[in-house]
Structure 1
Amino acid sequence: MKSLIIDKLYKRVSERGVVCVGLDTSLDYIPEFIKSGRSAKDAIVEFNKAIIDKTEDVASCFKVQIAYYEALGIEGLIAYKETLEYLREKDLIIIADIKRGDIAATAKMYAKAHFEGDFEADFITLNPYMGMDSIEPYLDYIKDGNKGIFSLVRTSNSGALDIEYIKDKDGNNVYDIVGEKVLKMGLEFKGDSGYTPLGGVIGCTHIEEGASIRNRLKEMFFLIPGYGAQGGKAEDVALYLNNGNGGVVNSSRGILLAYKKANRPEKDFAICAREEAIRMRDEIREACNR
């Protein structure tokens, strides 16, 4: 069975570059002229649509972090739903950043909630540190090739050292063990691109083992956080890619707040987001070609 969604993402990266636009939209990020006279829900949706319209041809996918929407209650979740609908209307690839991690019937309900209905996405993020049986309930949605996951493996935060770097008796880090288990689980669903739809979240802020991780997880597609605001550089990202593909690189604040960093008028927020996405894409491409 071919994993069509991972092949589609691979093709989008080939065509549009590795940039994943993070719609981690806080009300604080939104220009006053958009918020004026609008509800929080309408302001968020208006802002997100403008960002999407200006970046869709220079981004491979969009990652929507659900916490920013949940924090606003029902109104925020409606904004989340409408943002996902807009992305689907445009045939853009959605990663729902939900980081769920539970087992059995509860995991099945999470799968139903985020692979069907109002909150449907193409990929979701999962936390496997409760065990591999926390991923198994999602596999029914993976088998038809239209859905995928990104499992936390080696994250970009400093706290990754607390657990993910613990070594077993053979000297393997916990993240190595988790990554190999996720990869093995996904191999039977590998697509024409050579990658499985069970991808991994691999932060680019710890670069010492970058080449080793990429080599050990050859058939795993990476969601790469840590670029920009968290300190990751283009040359760091390049370590985790295969000839400029095999992963997407998320940027949220760097793109959404580009207008503030550039000290440009608020009305230019979407144009600045596009310029930053292009700058980021080209910088990473150049690093991969060195």
Structure 2
Amino acid sequence: MGQTAFERIAARVRDVGAPVVLGLDPRPDRMPPSFRDGVDGVRRFHSRLLELIGDLVVAVKPQIAFFEAFGEDGLRAWADTCALVKERDLVVIGDVKRGDIGSTAEAYAKVHFRWADILTVHPLLGDDSIEPFLRPCRDEGKGIFLLCATSNPGWSRFQAIEDRDGVPLWARIAEAIEEWNASCPSHAGYGPVGAVVGATHPEILARVRELAPSAWLLLPGVGAQGATIEEVLSACDTNGLGALVPVSRGIASCFDPEDPDWETKVRQGAEALVAAARKPVDAHRSED
């Protein structure tokens, strides 16, 4: 086994200097007119985005639901997009949010790890639902991000429920992540099981970092949902590792689709995000 998925991400973070992840949520109405010819347009648009800004991001996170909306051809476009990302030697974070019991979880892991290096997973069905995803992490260098405290408005109805000891569900998930990582190989102090924590919850983010110091954190919510990069990158360690900021609309849709100069806008938007991310990472490093 060569480098694990998270080792490759760590190397990219060191090279780029900022932990920005490109999110791909293909919506034709947000693409330039020349790309609005169905799944072929999606493929070409994603290929062009990677040409424009692939050097600025550390991984790419395609969201499978937007591909599934195109039907059978959309799943082919999903596979093609993952292949395009891998051709550029970037890690694919498959945003699939799967989770089920026993053999069904095994099937999910088998099919989605065919294309992705890291998957987003629901943890609520417990250990037996996670084990099928852990085996490829141990044996093949794959990774998973477990939903912990998400960034959507209704997150707290269930994720913030406290048990008889007064501990919220999100904290129990963070504790479990630390346990699962203890059963897996680690690199630079991090295991293959990470946590999805909304960048909109800075206090929870700090606590999850305490409860799961071995977890990479995926921090959605920067930009369109109101959080700033400066607020969340305190979760990085003094080497700038341990936290990733996925951005979709702030890069792939940061332009007027009718603007003939959209490519310049995409490049400028990505450069601005990376520059903003480098500042808190550099400041955090200087504190060491």
Could you tell me the TM-score, scaled by structure 2's length?
0.92
Candidates 172, 175, 180, aligned match of 1:177: 172
Q: Which residue in 2 is equivalent to 1:216?
A: 211
More deviation, 231-240/175-184 = 231-240
Q: What SS does the corresponding residue of 1:258 show, helix, strand or coil?
A: coil
How do 1:1-290 and structure 2 match up within 5 A?
4-16=4-16, 17-35=18-36, 39-116=37-114, 120-243=115-238, 244-260=240-256, 266-288=259-281, 289=283
Q: How far is the alpha carbon of 1:255 from its aligned partner? A: 0.7
More deviation, 56-65/124-133 = 124-133
Q: How far is the alpha carbon of 1:3 from its aligned partner? A: 7.0
Instruction: Report if the CA contact (8 A) 2:177-2:212 is conserved.
Output: no
- The 1-side partners of 2:31 and 2:258 are apart by 12
Q: What SS does the corresponding residue of 2:269 show, helix, strand or coil?
A: helix
Q: What SS does the corresponding residue of 1:266 show, helix, strand or coil?
A: coil
Q: Structure 1 residues 127, 69: closer, same or farther in 2, change over 3 A? A: same
- The 1-side partners of 2:277 and 2:147 are apart by 23
Residues 145-181 of structure 1 show CA distances to partners (whole Å, capped at 9, x for unaligned) of 4211111111111211101111122221110101111
Instruction: Report if the CA contact (8 A) 1:235-1:284 is conserved.
Output: yes
Q: How far is the alpha carbon of 1:265 from its aligned partner? A: 5.9
Residues 84-132 of structure 1 show CA distances to partners (whole Å, capped at 9, x for unaligned) of 111112211100000001011111111111112xxx1100100111222
Residues 172-219 of structure 1 show CA distances to partners (whole Å, capped at 9, x for unaligned) of 111010111122112232333211111111111012233222222111
Q: Which runs of 5+ in 1 are unaligned?
A: none
Could you tell me the TM-score, scaled by structure 1's length?
0.91
- The 2-side partners of 1:194 and 1:270 are apart by 39
Instruction: Report if the CA contact (8 A) 2:98-2:122 is conserved.
Output: yes
Residues 54-91 of structure 1 show CA distances to partners (whole Å, capped at 9, x for unaligned) of 11111000000000000110121111111111111221
Q: Structure 1 residues 149, 3: closer, same or farther in 2, change over 3 A? A: farther
Q: What SS does the corresponding residue of 2:175 show, helix, strand or coil?
A: helix
- The 2-side partners of 1:267 and 1:49 are apart by 18
Q: How far is the alpha carbon of 1:23 from its aligned partner? A: 0.6
In the alignment, residue 151 of structure 1 is paired with which amino acid?
L
Q: Structure 1 residues 230, 19: closer, same or farther in 2, change over 3 A? A: same
In the alignment, residue 177 of structure 2 is paired with which amino acid?
V
Instruction: Report if the CA contact (8 A) 1:154-1:202 is conserved.
Output: yes
- The 2-side partners of 1:235 and 1:194 are apart by 23
Residues 206-264 of structure 1 show CA distances to partners (whole Å, capped at 9, x for unaligned) of 1223322222211100111000001111222123222332111011011111122xxx8
Q: What's the C-alpha RMSD, in Å, of the aligned pairs?
A: 1.8
Q: Structure 1 residues 231, 136: closer, same or farther in 2, change over 3 A? A: same
Q: What SS does the corresponding residue of 2:163 show, helix, strand or coil?
A: coil
In the alignment, residue 199 of structure 1 is paired with which amino acid?
G
- The 1-side partners of 2:203 and 2:119 are apart by 28
